[in-house]
Structure 1
Amino acid sequence: MKKIGVLGLGKVGSLVATLLSQKYEVQGMDQFDINEKFSFDVLKGDVSNDKNIRDFLKDKDAVVSCLPYFLNIKIAETAVDMGVHYFDLTEDVPTLNAIQKMAKNSKSVLAPQCGLAPGFIGILGAGLYGQFSEVRAVKLRVGALPLHPMGQLGYSFTWSAEGVINEYINDAEVIHNGERKMLSSLDDVESININGRQYEAFLTSGGLGTMCETLDGKVDTLNYKTIRYPGHRDGMKLLLYDLLLKNDRELAKNILNNALPLVDEDIVLVYAAVEGIMDGKLRRKEFSESYRRITLDNKEWRAISWTTACSISAVVDLVSEGNLSKKGFIKQEEIPFEMFIKSHYGSMYETYKDAK
């Protein structure tokens, strides 16, 4: 793998391309004019146009989609048809299912959901439950938040508003009492204390990726919850359900983008807990870390941007180096945690973890 294309050069995509250009020949494409200077070549083009995508991919070994979830199925189909390795950041379950079906006859790699959640949290969770001889419960939690919250929602859209709304509305897959189930997102609210600060966590769609399929029949409890400041869930429930904006996602997106300005100071919280039998005893293993913005090449990057970008860059690099499958579908939980965290890009999670 020598030439890599990156589609979508927003908050995350521009950093993905920047990181990958350290080792690969990278070209990016976005529908808007990019005035900023980067270390890689940039094209302007309609990313929903099939001819544009085919022209863009004709000399590429791999494509990384950092586009909104609803554009990814077509990109993946084109990549499979052209024999190009495909990676994305989607949290959308129907998109995941469609890509998984494509992979059965694919001669190239299809690796969706390579971001923070799903993505890193699944690799981390598997690294923990792999230490147990028998697993009872796997609980995964991630939050991307403004460092200094304001208002009842206490939130800022440091990544796609469409993605956030999508994961709040779509049902969440879990394993409960040993059975795979679909439960309503925004439900099953819990209080969680991390580093002495109180948060809330609730079910959202897509965070587990394919893990319910992987652990079906093997655990009593498996769930993923999004971490927010207290009061956020009630505010979103009012907006989406009481005011019925779930039926007009475009309006919901416009209202939230207008109300919640982007902030420079953000924090990413990652928590995972696994219970089960280890060395003949009932044990619980936990992981808890927080991450803040960093400086790379004299430029500031928000926590959500770099934690997402380094995760997908690590998976691309591991495939390129022959450490993962060379074709077909790659589940995040199949990626060995130790190999990931020691890799060129995955090691950023260790290098830049918050000193607390």
Structure 2
Amino acid sequence: MYIKHKVIIAGAGGIGRAAGLIMAEQPDFDCEIFIGDIQLDIAEEACQWIQKGASSLVNIESFEIKQDVVSEHMDYILKSADILLDCLPGSEAPKMAAFAKKYKLHYVNLTEYVDETNQILELAKDAETGFILQSGLAPGYVNILANHLYKDFVLQYGDQQVDHIAMKVGALTRITTNPHYYGFTWSPIGVATEYVKDAIVIRNGIKTTIPSLTETTDILIDGIHYEDDFTSGGAADLPDYFSGKVRNLDYKTIRYPGHYQWVKNQLAEIGSQPNPEIALLDKMKQVIPNVDEDLIVLYVGIIGKDVSGSIRIKERSLRIEPSFVGSHKLKAIQTTTAAPMLEAARMLLSGKYKGPMLQSQIDTQEFLSGSFVQMVFNQKKYRELV
């Protein structure tokens, strides 16, 4: 049965407009798009950008998201739509989720913010529509891939002892220089925040917290030397889901060697203060450039023992570079964040799901085989070692 979906994108920045263009270019997903922003001129510019980049005619309309009131135009759009994709800052998520519930829309967001996520989980408990939260790259895709690999591991080797679920993602640049060995490819405040907030992990089967940047280790992926360390937010709800099931689980952010030591030096100079992320952000912005040419490096590993006691490992790694969608070249961080959100949206629009859903609750096979995910994370690009 042919269905044309009406999709609201709230937030017309880099991820919102990428989501709009990817939808417009997906042949098996016919939709009408409403793209809104707190600043109307940004929404209008994004609308024109999507129309210019698409290879065929796009049914798209811009609108303004007012801070305190719902305009007549926005009310009309909310009443007309099927789903709301929330690409606004995480602080706005509860408000957008409340709109989705009131107007009986499905809802997908990206934010890793814990308090806002908990508010939405409570709000959506009795919702008639589906709410998929934290559905970007990390949190998001990397967690679903980890859960999928865990299931594969258990199917092949049994679940008598799974020692470690390791998830690692890095948003990097092709070229970098000392002393910081880094370039901003996404939100600078997001980077600073994940460096100072605690990471949630599993140790010896128990969910716990660990200060970020307290375990810098080396990893080689496809022969390239990187470093990784604990950062906040990327584990989604997997520490809750796997507590008592696996011995250890953690999420780490991948960087080039030397970067983490530079950050630790800056934090040592900052010392103890109420908002260290703001002070760190200021220091970083003084010397670190913003870079358009990015790449994403991703790794997931499941380590445990089979019935004979032999150590077994399932690993996957992926390197994703900027790519053309339509006539626009999108950054790797744009495609790898927008595609999981759109796959979650497709799942909700099937009508099979309602109420709140976190990453551990998503059907991994359905998600990973979906056309939005395949478009960006093509399984043939994997480096798999079993």
| TM over 0.5, shorter chain | yes
Are residues 126 and 156 of structure 1, via their aligned partners in 2, closer, same or farther at CA, if it must alter by over 3 Å? Answer: same
In structure 1, the partner of 2:208 is: 181
What letter matches 1:267 in structure 2?
Answer: L
What letter matches 1:220 in structure 2?
Answer: R
Query: In the alignment, does 2:12 pair up with 1:9?
Result: yes
Moved more, 133-142 or 248-257: 248-257
Question: For the pair shown, which has the larger CA radius of gyration, 1 or 2?
Answer: 2
Q: Which structure 2 residues correspond to residues 1-356 of structure 1 after superposition, within 5 A? A: 2-21=5-24, 22=26, 23=29, 24-32=31-39, 33-34=41-42, 35=45, 36-39=48-51, 41-46=60-65, 48-52=67-71, 54=75, 56-131=77-152, 132=154, 133-134=158-159, 135-240=162-267, 242-244=269-271, 247=275, 249-250=277-278, 252-253=280-281, 256-257=284-285, 259-278=287-306, 282-322=311-351, 325-348=352-375, 349-350=377-378, 353=381
Deviation at 1:283, TM superposition (A): 1.6
SS of 1:276's equivalent?
strand
Instruction: Name the CA distance, whole Å, in 1 between partners of 2:202 and 2:291.
Output: 36
Deviation at 1:151, TM superposition (A): 2.9
Moved more, 229-238 or 116-125: 229-238
Instruction: Name the CA distance, whole Å, in 2 between partners of 1:264 and 1:60.
Output: 33
User: Could you list the per-position Cα deviations for residues 334-353 of structure 1 after superposition, in whole angstroms to 9, with x for gaps in the alignment?
Assistant: 32333223212011211794
Give the conservation status (yes or no) of the 8 Å contact 1:6–1:64. yes
What letter matches 1:58 in structure 2?
Answer: K
Instruction: Name the CA distance, whole Å, in 1 between partners of 2:8 and 2:268.
Output: 39
SS of 2:227's equivalent?
strand
Deviation at 1:93, TM superposition (A): 2.0
Give the conservation status (yes or no) of the 8 Å contact 2:94–2:120. yes
Moved more, 159-168 or 124-133: 159-168
Give the RMSD, CA atoms, in angstroms.
2.4
Give the conservation status (yes or no) of the 8 Å contact 2:145–2:368. no
Give the conservation status (yes or no) of the 8 Å contact 2:293–2:331. yes
What letter matches 1:180 in structure 2?
Answer: K
Moved more, 271-280 or 245-254: 245-254
Instruction: Name the CA distance, whole Å, in 2 between partners of 1:43 and 1:139.
Output: 41
Deviation at 1:13, TM superposition (A): 1.2
Deviation at 1:96, TM superposition (A): 2.0
What letter matches 1:350 in structure 2?
Answer: N
Deviation at 1:149, TM superposition (A): 1.4
Deviation at 1:262, TM superposition (A): 2.5
User: Could you list the per-position Cα deviations for residues 26-76 of structure 1 after superposition, in whole angstroms to 9, with x for gaps in the alignment?
Assistant: 110123424343235343524544425655423221111111112212211
Are residues 81 and 239 of structure 1, via their aligned partners in 2, closer, same or farther at CA, if it must alter by over 3 Å? Answer: farther
Give the conservation status (yes or no) of the 8 Å contact 2:270–2:276. no
SS of 1:126's equivalent?
helix
* TM-score, length basis structure 2: 0.84
What letter matches 1:138 in structure 2?
Answer: I
In structure 2, stretches of 5+ residues that fail to align are 52-58
Give the conservation status (yes or no) of the 8 Å contact 1:126–1:334. no
Are residues 111 and 54 of structure 1, via their aligned partners in 2, closer, same or farther at CA, if it must alter by over 3 Å? Answer: farther
What letter matches 2:369 in structure 1?
Answer: K
What letter matches 1:303 in structure 2?
Answer: A
In structure 1, stretches of 5+ residues that fail to align are none
SS of 1:347's equivalent?
helix
Moved more, 267-276 or 94-103: 94-103
Moved more, 199-208 or 33-42: 33-42
How many residue pairs are counted as aligned between the two chains? 353
Are residues 143 and 219 of structure 1, via their aligned partners in 2, closer, same or farther at CA, if it must alter by over 3 Å? Answer: same
Deviation at 1:118, TM superposition (A): 0.7
Percent sequence identity is 31
Give the conservation status (yes or no) of the 8 Å contact 1:93–1:209. no
User: Could you list the per-position Cα deviations for residues 193-217 of structure 1 after superposition, in whole angstroms to 9, with x for gaps in the alignment?
Assistant: 1121211111111111111111111
Are residues 166 and 214 of structure 1, via their aligned partners in 2, closer, same or farther at CA, if it must alter by over 3 Å? Answer: same
Are residues 4 and 99 of structure 1, via their aligned partners in 2, closer, same or farther at CA, if it must alter by over 3 Å? Answer: same
Give the conservation status (yes or no) of the 8 Å contact 1:273–1:285. yes
